[in-house]
Structures are given as C-alpha cells and as structure tokens.
Structure 1
Amino acid sequence: MKTKNKKTLCALLLVAVGIFSYSLWLPLRPVDIIAVHHRGHGSSAVLVKNFPFTDKGKMSWWLKNKDVLKDKHKIPSPASDGSFVVVFWDFGDGYKETDGYDNLCFNDMKPPMNCIEKNSLLMVRNSENTGSYFVLDSGTYRMNNKGDIVKNKSD
C-alpha cells in the first residue's frame, strides 16, 4: 500500500473513532438545571442545558429524576386540585432582553435580562381527570395504569 493511502486511511480511522466516541459520550452528559421559575397555579418552567435528544430519553429522564426534582427544586408544585404542569425549556444562549414578540419572559426577575427564546423540550402534565402525560414536538404520550407510556393515536 502506498504511503499516501496509509495516511488517508489513518486519518479516516481517527475521524471515525472521534465521531464514535462523541456519539457515546453525548447521551451520558448530565442534564444541567439552570433555573426553576414557579409560575403559579401548579405551573413551573425549568431551564436546562444538555437535555436528552430523544423523546424516550426525555420521558425516561423525568421518571428517573422526578423525586430529586421534587426534593431539590420543589417541582412539580401542584395546584390546590393536585394538577400541575412542568415545562422544560432549552436555556440556549441564556437570559436576554425581550424581543417584544416571541420570547418567554419571567416576572420573578427584573428586566431587561429576564427572557429566553421559546424552545420547549418537554411538557409534563398531570390532573385528576387525565392522569400523567407528556407533550413533545412529535406528539403526546400518556402513562397508562400499568405505568407504560403510550403515544396518542391521534398525533
């Protein structure tokens, strides 16, 4: 084999190993909870970085961490009827000034740096009538009585 071919093969192998290693590391990154904003009436906004990519990963992360979130961050914070909504938002580039149009701004912070871009990652809802369900870009998933998560057929 020529030297040029060996160098090319070596470079390609190195790139492949790098990509493979990165793809193994990516899902193992810990989720960073940047802030929690309690919005009243059982609603909370959680700003995160490094949230899982897949729908299954997001729902599994919630189920695995909901007790820690309750103890450490007081979420969910149910309304008087027991219902709650927790929305996980991508913190992205951090807090910014409102664009006057489509940013999500938090009243529990002083302006101007009290808004984020709207990029919801996961919504967890629970009520007595509907039970627990997850809202994601790809659809709505409900938790049945057996604890199985099933995608709504209408989505």
Structure 2
Amino acid sequence: MQANIKKTLYTLLLMGSILPGVVFWLSARSVEIVAVHEDREFSSVLVRNFPFTDRGKIRWWQKNKDMLKEKYNIPKTASDGFFSMVFWDFGDGYKEEGKYDRRCFEDIKAPENCIEKNRIFSVSDSKNMGISFTTNDEIYRMVKNGKIVKVVAD
C-alpha cells in the first residue's frame, strides 16, 4: 500500500513540474499568419499558434493591430466605420469544399480553397456597439476609456 502511495505522489509531482513547462511553451509560440482573405469590410485571417486564453487573444490583437494594418491593410472599414475580422485556425490547411460547412474563399482557385470552420477569435467595430471581441465562449467590449469589459448575458 505504501509503495502505491509513493508511486502516486511521484507521478503527481512529475506531472506538476512538467505541466507548467508545457503551458509556458504553448503560450510562448509565435503566431503565424498564413493568409488573409478579404471581402470588402470583412477579413478572414488564417493563423497557427494563436493564443489560447481570451486575455491572450485580445492582447495579441492590441499589440499587432498596427502591424495588421501596415502589412495586410486590414481591417478595411465600410463608409460607416464598420469592420469585421475573423481569425481562423488554419489547422491542416486548405481543403476541397466537399465536407458540409467549410469556410471557402472565392479569392483563391478551387478546388482547395476551403478550411475547416474553426473560428478562434473575432474583432469588430460598429457605430452602435464600438469595438467588440468574440472568443469561443465570451464577448468583450472596449468602453470609452479604452478598458475592456466582459459582456454579461441577461
């Protein structure tokens, strides 16, 4: 019985020391922008290694929004100031449309012009709502003083 307890403790200790290293490694990877597809004020940004926390996603966008404008000329805004940018996980790359509900892009030649619909993050700006960030589970808004607040569902 004592040997089993020791073995369990050693296993927990080992996992407890490896897990923080794995989390650090995952969070330290550079975001790779694979491609950008545009349709007027709607931009799709295909990425790899995007941050996995809501805070990390929003921070990444804040830190890189000027680079996105300079390098890719996005976001493009409508006459009323609206724009929408969706960051998609590029995953296994472009695929044929074939499967139901893939996101396909008309600005590249078929047949391999689609990706799996795995939306990671989106940023939009509108006259009524201001800048909004949408993650898998939550919506955040930037208020007038620049602070970002989570939208609480009614």
- Same fold (TM > 0.5): yes
Determine the structure 1 residue equivalent to 2:62: 63
Deviations 1:99-144 (A, max 9, x none): 2520000000110000000000111010122210111221211100
Determine the structure 1 residue equivalent to 2:145: 146
Determine the structure 2 residue equivalent to 1:101: 100
CA distance in 1, matches of 2:127, 2:16: 50
CA distance in 1, matches of 2:15, 2:122: 37
Q: Under a length normalisation based on structure 2, what TM-score does the superposition of the two structures give?
A: 0.87
CA distance in 1, matches of 2:15, 2:138: 36
CA distance in 2, matches of 1:150, 1:32: 27
Q: Under a length normalisation based on structure 1, what TM-score does the superposition of the two structures give?
A: 0.86
**Unmatched runs of 5 consecutive residues or more in structure 1:** 1-7
Alignment of 1:7-22 (within 5 A): 17-22=17-22
Secondary structure in 2 aligned to 1:34?
strand
Determine the structure 2 residue equivalent to 1:133: 132
Q: CA deviation at 1:81?
A: 1.8
Determine the structure 2 residue equivalent to 1:3: none
Determine the structure 1 residue equivalent to 2:35: 35
Going from structure 1 to structure 2, the CA distance change for 1:88 and 1:9 (only over 3 Å counts) comes to same
CA distance in 2, matches of 1:67, 1:57: 17
- The alignment yields a C-alpha RMSD, in angstroms, of 2.2
Sequence identity percentage: 53
Deviations 1:76-103 (A, max 9, x none): 1111222100000000100000125200
Deviations 1:52-97 (A, max 9, x none): 0011111111111100111011111111222100000000100000
CA distance in 1, matches of 2:11, 2:132: 47
Alignment of 1:102-121 (within 5 A): 102-121=101-120
Q: CA deviation at 1:15?
A: 6.0
Determine the structure 2 residue equivalent to 1:5: none
CA distance in 2, matches of 1:20, 1:93: 27
| Matched letter for residue 30 of structure 1 | S
Q: CA deviation at 1:21?
A: 2.2
| Matched letter for residue 136 of structure 2 | D
Q: Which moved more, 1:30-39 or 1:93-102?
A: 93-102
**Unmatched runs of 5 consecutive residues or more in structure 2:** 1-7
Determine the structure 1 residue equivalent to 2:85: 86
Going from structure 1 to structure 2, the CA distance change for 1:146 and 1:103 (only over 3 Å counts) comes to same
CA distance in 2, matches of 1:22, 1:130: 38
